[in-house]
Structure 1
Amino acid sequence: MAGAAYTIFDTLMGRCGIAWSDGGVLAVQLAESREIDTRRRLLRQCPDARESRPSVEIAAALGGIAATLRGAPHDFSDVQLDLGDLPAFDCRVYEAIRSIPRGQTATHADLAKQAGSSGALDAVDHAVRRNPFALIVPCHRALPVAGDTRGICANGGVITRRRLLAMEGALAAGGPSLFDVLLTAAPRQPER
């Protein structure tokens, strides 16, 4: 990855990272609990990247990421991705995921069919888990089965997925909210 660069930037969620090359975006890292961890995970994906000021195109992409994490809609269809080292099947899955409209979801079976291999559910699952382009390739919209938001998507986890889907209006009414999830995870105080 000669010529790769990266920057760390502020969002409502915390300090996120983006790496790029002349071919486009190489990776997006959502915020970890500490900036050093965000940087470390991003550099694990792009070890040759050097910290740099973003180009106009990359600045627009990171502005879109920050807007998305505030709940604002953003169209990433014009963001160029550097797919050079990725398996061809994963690239087809990412293209299919990018076509899922905001506020909607698709199942792994739907994505396998769109990628040209309807029986490749495990391969779709692996592609979703390895997605290096968080939010630009909105893997939070790719569900193992309809309505099941429990599966892990790339570098975000279940709570981040549910938060993003809720902001987009894609969660069915009646499911547990983020508040419900946090309440059930919190230790209970003894009754007096």
Structure 2
Amino acid sequence: MPGTTPFDATDFDTAIGRCAVTWRGDAVVRFRLPGHDPLTTRLPDDTHRVATPATGPRAAMLTRIRAHLDGDLDDLRWIPLDLAGLPEFHRAVYTVTRAIDPGRTLGYGEVAGRIGAPGAAQAVGQALGRNPIPLIIPCHRVLAADHALHGFSAPGGVETKQRLLAIERTSGFGEPTLF
């Protein structure tokens, strides 16, 4: 489309494997955890594959993402996102999810309550399953009511979710609660 900023994409190595990011300007549009299809699949036609930038805001993002995955935790909330075109409900879910600090979790029902949609835990799960920017929108920090690790749409499934929570030194996940 004339007048729109094209997308740029790059992949980069991290402690958990090769990740990829797509930007429009300096805002992240998509993030891919290791194991996804090659970077160039399912991207808009005007996407330019770029080398990992050495300077500027994009380089700072990649540096902090790598550091986070190395255990030097960062909430990554300072990274600008482009959520244009996403449903309002999804954006609300992502806003609440993005506010969860590393090492902390919420339940699907708690997220639903915080967006003013009590009883919508399943819809929250569906929105998180379509999260285009995992890690930066930390859907891995949302757990089932019993704190068990049920389903995760990223490659590696529950094992990836468990690995991200372990990196963030999250306690209590995967363990039933007494009450």
Q: TM-score, normalised by structure 1?
A: 0.79
Secondary structure of 1:90 counterpart: helix
Structure number having the greater helix percentage: 1
Structure 1 residue 63, shift from structure 2 partner: 1.7
Residues 148 and 173, structure 2, Cα contact 8 Å, conserved in 1: no
After TM superposition, the score normalised by the length of structure 2 is 0.84
Q: Which SS does the other structure have where 2:42 is aligned?
A: helix
Q: Deviations over 1:57-93 (max 9, x none)?
A: 2222222221222122013111111010111110111
Q: Aligned Cα RMSD in Å?
A: 2.2
- Which protein, 1 or 2, shows the higher relative CO under an 8 Å CA cutoff with sep ≥ 6? 2
Flag the 1:154–1:114 CA change in 2: closer, same or farther, 3 A. farther
CA contact (8 A) 1:17 1:38 kept: no
Distance 1:139 1:68 in 2: 15
Deviations 1:130-189 (A, max 9, x none): 1111110111101122411122144451111111112222132895xxxxxxxxxxxxxx
Residue equivalent to 1:104: 104
Choose from 4, 7, 10 the match for 1:4: 7
Is 2:55 the partner of 1:52? Answer: no
Label 1:63 to 1:143 Cα distance change in 2 as closer, same or farther (>3 A). Answer: same
Equivalent residues of 1:153, 1:161 under 8 A apart: no
Q: Is the 8 A contact 2:154 2:160 kept in 1?
A: no
Percent identity (aligned): 37
How many angstroms apart in 1 are the aligned matches of 2:35 and 2:62? 16
Q: Which runs of 5+ in 2 are unaligned?
A: none
Tell me the residue number matched to 1:119.
119
Q: 1:125–1:23: structure 2 CA closer, same or farther, 3 Å change rule? A: same
| 1:14 and 2:17 are equivalent in the alignment | yes
Q: 1:46 to 1:97 in 2, by over 3 A?
A: farther
- Pair member with larger Rg: 1
Letter of the aligned partner of 2:166 in structure 1? A
Which residues of structure 1 form unaligned runs of 5+? Answer: 176-192
